[in-house]
A and B are shown apart, each in its own frame.
Chain A
Amino acid sequence: MPRVRASTSPSMPTAALTAAPTGRARAAGSVSLRVGAILVALILGMALVADWVTPYRYDEIVTSRAETPPTSPDRDHWLGTDALGRDLLTRVVHGARISLEVGLGGELIAVLLGMFMGCLAGWRGGWLDAACMRLVDVVLAFPVPLVVLAVVAAVPDAGSLPLIGRLPHPEIALISLMLGLVGWAPITRLVRAQIMAARSTAYTEAARALGAGDLRVLWYHLLPNCLSPVLVAATLGIAGNILAEAWLSFLGLGARPPLPSWGSMILQGQGQLTLHPLVCVVPGLALALTVLGFNLLGDGLRDRLDPRLAGITRPGPEVS
């Protein structure tokens, strides 16, 4: 006869085996939401006021002839200068612009494409749905970092491309476009699932019965359902995009000099890591805090908007 007894193993708390969601987990969610929002707000602010933080331009050589850069921090240059004698603080602050450009730009493309495809698949159904979902499978099967490398290898000079070449930073625009074109697939899945769930609800039926057309039902009744999961996915996607750009720039395949991308600044600082660690440490810290901010914000938003999903990470297109 099996003995009925409580656990005799002292080191394992039995409470965990019958765990229900605790209030503390909810509280942790709101903490991450707050910390994430503060970090993201700081980075956005930094990008907005980048021109007025220091009296220098990011590509201006500020050391005198007597000094050999990189120089250590002093009164005029709080973080010192980089290997070419440019003010490090100025470059780090301006780096926020590049990161946000790729993060937000790439994700905007991904969200627009993803929502369009998701609506098409979820609303129309049938062969269109099947075709969209196969396409999603194919896109998800590709190893994103390798695809990005292949494109960068194939387009050595983004400035020579039509349209993209006319933008202020063609190589950054090309990276954003690429990340958008590979990042839409998870969003399509999310939107499609939400649309299919909402399609057969009573309020959709009611709207149709009142004579609302396809577009009206989609816009006013179905799309609002998708907004919160898409918002969460997009926030986490921004973090992934920022990491991807920094990764490419660190490999010397992203931003061109003198553009102050945090990734290329770390690459340039690598040579003087021991003698002048600040040149490497500061851009990396800025990068990690920015990505952490978006990750925390995404996690917090998910806990706030959909407690069922708490603690589940999205396998996204992060590359590093």
Chain B
Amino acid sequence: MITYTLRRLLLLGPVLLVVATVAWLAIFILPGDPARLLAGQSADPEVIARVRADWGLDAPPWVQYGQYLSRLAHLDLGRSYVDRRPVTTILLEHLPASLVLAISAVTLALLMGLVCGTLAALHRGTWIDATVLGGSLLGLSTPVFWLGLMLVLALASSRGLGWFPVSGYGPVRPPSFHLAGLPIRLPSPANLILPTLTLALVSAGSLARMTRSAILDVLRQDYIRAARGRGLSAWRVLGRHALRNALIPVVTFAGLDLAALAGGAIATESVFAWPGLGKIVVRAIHARDLPLVEGSILAMTTGFVLVTLLVDLSYGWIDPRTRQR
């Protein structure tokens, strides 16, 4: 298990290097001139030249690439073209909001997916099964941003029930607590509910389907019949034998679904004016703030790769058989 973990951790380096290089190349081959962008369209050639020298844009490409990598190694992502602050600072400011949303949405989605999927599998062929399957297909087919807007219309707007705030993070308050020196400001619960529900509903659909088919697969196995034969109660068979084995494909799928979750989170943050990384990256692309685009995509990809790794490592915890590999 330790060698497996180490090997997986060693693979992390090359993957991140590839992502960093692709991000740099994508920005580098851009047709526009960043120095002109920085100095403004009507700037004199001398001003542009000075800006180019100031931002290190006059060096040959390989030197710029080397500087970029060495800055990355020091967690320095450069300065934003727009508000001229370090990209790392901006990202750290917005990271907690994204984390709060992601964690609450994944928790809710897993809960709904596991419960609904198990119910559907146990009541196969009944109206419960049909409802869960139909509902999950609707969840899979509904665009997350539209679902968010419809929830706002029905539950938050003055035309609907008006129960929740339409958007935002709630009133500005001092940080709730510090995590590794990072001030974490929690949103108002009322503000968190709709974005969480939006993001969770979409993932819950596919999770429920996956749970259903995984449990149906497991229930056909001989060891389930054996456990039943030994006189274990149905709940014990389900909890100790069926669910635990069914979790492996479900967790795999949840891991694969992370990319969809990232995309959904960007749209959800955009709908609810949620001050997270997704909002930052979209705003940076619109403003052509290249260091911020580069930095935020790199940060999100790193997060994605790290969580995928955690999902992989969790197999060993769920299924002891995989530890021997």
Contacts and interface: CB of A to CB of B under 8 A. Distances in A.
B266 A251 contact: yes
A273 B153 contact: yes
Interface in B303-325: 304-305, 308
A251 B141 contact: no
Interface string B118-159: 000111110000100100011011111110011011000111
B29 interface: yes
A7 B257 CA distance: 36
A229 interface: no
Given A141-B308, A250-B270, A150 B141 contact: no
A259 interface: no
A14 B237 CA distance: 11
Given A266-B145, A288-B143, A16 B288 contact: no
Nearest to A294: B141
Contacts of A160: 31
B32 interface: yes
A211 B56 CA distance: 65
Contacts of B304: 143, 146
Given A28-B130, A266-B146, A277-B153, A239 B141 contact: yes
B300 interface: yes
Contacts of A287: 143, 146
A9 to B, nearest CB: 5
Question: What interface size band does chain A fall in?
Answer: 35 or more
Contacts of A252: 282, 286
Given A156-B32, A311-B216, A150 B137 contact: no
A64 interface: no
Most buried by A among B145, B152, B224, B235: B145
B63 interface: no
B202 interface: yes
Interface stretch (A19-27, A54-62, A76-84, A191-199): A19-27
Given A7-B233, A22-B124, A22-B125, A274 B288 contact: no
Interface stretch (B175-183, B189-197, B207-215): B207-215
A8 interface: yes
Contact of B228 (A17, A142, A157, A277): A17
Contact of A246 (B143, B206, B224): B143
A46 interface: no
A142 B272 CA distance: 27
A243 B143 contact: yes
B170 interface: no
B262 interface: yes
B301 interface: yes
B188 to A, nearest CB: 21
A25 B146 contact: no
B1 interface: no
Interface stretch (B19-27, B39-47, B88-96, B98-106): B19-27
Contact of A291 (B31, B141, B230, B258): B141
Nearest to B301: A146
B313 to A, nearest CB: 16
Contact of B159 (A146, A266, A274, A312): A274
A211 B293 CA distance: 57
Nearest to B264: A320
B259 interface: yes
Given A17-B234, A312-B213, A315-B253, A288 B142 contact: yes
Interface of A: 2-5, 7-9, 12-14, 16-19, 22, 24-25, 28, 32, 138, 141-146, 149-154, 156-157, 160, 239, 243-244, 246-247, 250-253, 263, 266, 270, 273-274, 277, 280-281, 284, 287-288, 291-292, 295-296, 299, 311-313, 315, 317-320
Given A4-B231, A17-B228, A274-B159, 7 more contacts: A28-B133, A150-B22, A160-B31, A292-B137, A311-B209, A317-B259, A320-B202
